[in-house]
Chains A and B, each alone.
Chain A
Amino acid sequence: MMNHLYELLKIVLASPYTLPVIYGIVIVAVLPLVAGYVVLVERKVMADMQARLGPMRVGPHGLLQPIADAIKLLLKEDIIPEKADVWIFWLAPLISVTAGMLALAPVGIGPAFQIAKDIDVGILFIAGISSLGIFGIVLGGWASNSHYSLMGALRSAAQLVSYETAAGMALVSGLLLGGSLQIRALVEEQAKQGVWFVALAPIAFFIYLVASIAETNRAPFDLPEAESELVAGYMTEYSGFRWSLYFLAEYANMMVVGSVATTIFLGGWLRPFSSVGGAAGRAIDTVPGALLLGVAAYCLYRAPKQPVTVQKLVMVAVAGLCAVVAAALLAPVFVAQALWMMPAIHGAFWFLLKVGGYIYLFMWLRFTLPRYRFDQLMRLGWYFLIPVSIVNVMGIGIALVLHWERGMNLALALGLTTLMTLAVAAVLVRAELKREEQLRQAASGDAYAG
């Protein structure tokens, strides 16, 4: 009997499916927790930009707030509108969450943590599965059995579909430079060329940034789900756990677009100046560990100042956790036997740092900018982003042909492309401003007395 079990264990461990399944289970189990903490980070960042403190009571510095929120949402009453279609009402948030989580499958958090390793069409996979999330929104709005919920959902879906084109075109620009659809190959290409693609195709990065904000329904493009909008959004009739599923899907989507942008434009899991070796390279390699040691030190410094003993203990625990991770990060740099750990752990750290920076940018924009009206939003997508992204793709294609066939310097060719695209963008912006001016003249054309 024990022998049988042992044989089974050996088969399972040797199978190529085991590790990806484990990663998959980890992601599905850990993602809600991570999303909860991203929400906490958002609240703290919002508070910081609004000159206040944010959650401070639940746990030291609000660190246990997501857990309290999760418990509250799980215990809420499950309300289903009377004439709603119960099956679809149940299904819609599920689709959103599944699409969001599934899209994380090919994402390589480090060179070692990737669930779908060999898929040749990695980036397309992410784009395609993200577009499945539209179903979750549309069905959610429809299942609420309210005319205005449905209109809000269809508007949101229209916004997503419009900005998908621009996002896809921007990604294509990066893919042209990378030469492959495989995630691993893209990052390795950036390592080979020694420069992140954001330096080679900055306009593509900018277009992807704007389009991905619209893709995830974040401000300034969040009219379909804003409170002061008359047409109630698709999430109105959802409460408690179902609503938290939609919320989780939104933050999972944010992480997905952040991962895609990081992989294609920001060098994936490469550390900055990855081609620089020697002493400078080692100095940069100590940065992750040093950062986390700093965080651990700060937690220890704040621990005695907490009012309650439990909070003091939590702070010390957090400090200990950071110290352990810092040790894991510093070990490969200083201890030769641990060098095999280096790509996996350091790669994961840099990747998460870059995704975190991208998401911080999302949050920053949310709290700074007002909201676009829906027609202005669609205008921006169709009249500005899509033409500029198409011109950008053509330009980068031409630049690459010039570089490969005629031997022109790549940086020079891409610089010219950027200038050309900027010129086209300037023309479009001028036309838009003139049109707005004309509209305003027409609206307020009366002569005024006094």
Chain B
Amino acid sequence: MLDKVIFYFFAAIAVGSALLMITRKSAVHSAIFLTTTLLATAGIFLQLRAEFLFIVQIILYVGGIMVLFIFVIMLVNLDVAAQQIQYSRQKWVALVLSLALAGQVGAMIWRAGKLPGQGMLVRGVAAAESLPPNAEAVAQSLFGPYMLSFEIASLLLLVAMIGAVVMAKKKV
């Protein structure tokens, strides 16, 4: 009972913030609502006992990426530009496409609920108490089976960082 209440609370915040985010005039307001959406999603992760994912969502997504978004928005002063071009002419196409996508996803979920065992690909849900501590489990898999992908990803990030530094330095 309490679980359901908490889930619907977070879900309502997530969906509501997402809607508000795309309908705001001011870019900073949109960024704030994106932040609330991300925080609500993190809350849902926490409810699912995926603690590591919850905190990494907050540290990286909210504390890193959203801070950068807000830096850029504030430094570049998008407000003037954004307030002049309010809604583009593609909104009808966008509406049709998103309704189609929503319909497909909804149909898939509907059918998964109807046919037990033939639903979406979920590897048997484990009981919450039997899970090893999240961070350890993630670390085991990162340094175990997924070692190569991890190293490749970190190399990519390194290249991106160096590229950014080189490009920024050139301006000065």
Chain A residues proximal to chain B, CB less than 8 Å? 85, 87-88, 91, 119-121, 124-125, 127-129, 131-132, 134-135, 138-139, 142, 150, 154, 157, 161, 180-182
A129 contacts B67, C-beta separation under 8 Å:
no
Name 18 A/B residue pairs within 8 A (Cβ), A-sorted.
A85-B28, A88-B28, A88-B32, A121-B135, A124-B55, A124-B56, A129-B58, A132-B62, A132-B63, A135-B66, A135-B67, A138-B71, A139-B28, A139-B32, A154-B71, A181-B133, A181-B135, A182-B133
Question: Given the known A-B contacts A91-B32, A135-B35, are A121 and B134 also in contact in the complex, defined by CB atoms under 8 Å?
Answer: yes
Q: How many residues of B sit at the interface, in one of the four size bands?
A: 20 to 34
Residues from chain A with a CB closer than 8 A to the CB of B99 are none
Are B74 and A150 in contact (CB-based, < 8 A)?
yes
Is there contact, CB below 8 Å, between A119 and B51?
yes
CA distance A91 to B28 in the complex (A): 13
Residues in B neighbouring A154, C-beta threshold 8 A: 71, 74-75
Which residues of B are found within 8 Å of A132, using beta-carbon distances? Answer: 58, 62-63
Residues 53-90 of chain B: 1 if any A CB is under 8 Å from the residue's CB, otherwise 0?
01110110011101100110011000000000000000
CA distance in complex: A121, B50 (Å): 10
Q: Which residue of B lies closest to A133 (CB)?
A: B63
B7 at the interface (CB under 8 A from A): no
Query: Across the interface, do A128 and B70 meet the contact criterion of CB distance under 8 Å?
Result: no
Min CB gap A401→B, angstroms: 14
**Chain A residues, Cβ within 8 Å of B71:** 138, 154, 157
* CB-based nearest A residue for B39: A132
Determine the distance from Cα of A181 to Cα of B134 in the docked complex, in whole angstroms.
10
**B-chain residues with CB within 8 Å of residue A129 when the two chains form the complex:** 58
Given A120-B51, A121-B52, A131-B67; 18 other pairs, CB 8 A cutoff: A88-B32, A120-B133, A120-B135, A124-B55, A124-B56, A124-B135, A128-B55, A128-B58, A128-B59, A131-B59, A135-B70, A154-B71, A154-B74, A161-B67, A180-B133, A181-B133, A181-B135, A182-B133
Q: Which residue of B lies closest to A130 (CB)?
A: B63
Q: How far is the CA of A44 from the CA of B63 in the complex (A)?
A: 36
CA–CA, A127 and B71, complex, Å: 21
Given contact pairs A124-B59, A135-B35, A139-B32, A85 touches B67 in the complex (Cβ within 8 A): no
B-chain residues with CB within 8 Å of residue A85 when the two chains form the complex: 26, 28
In the complex formed, the residue of A with least CB distance to B46 is A119
Contacts of B58 in A (CB 8 A): 128-129, 131-132
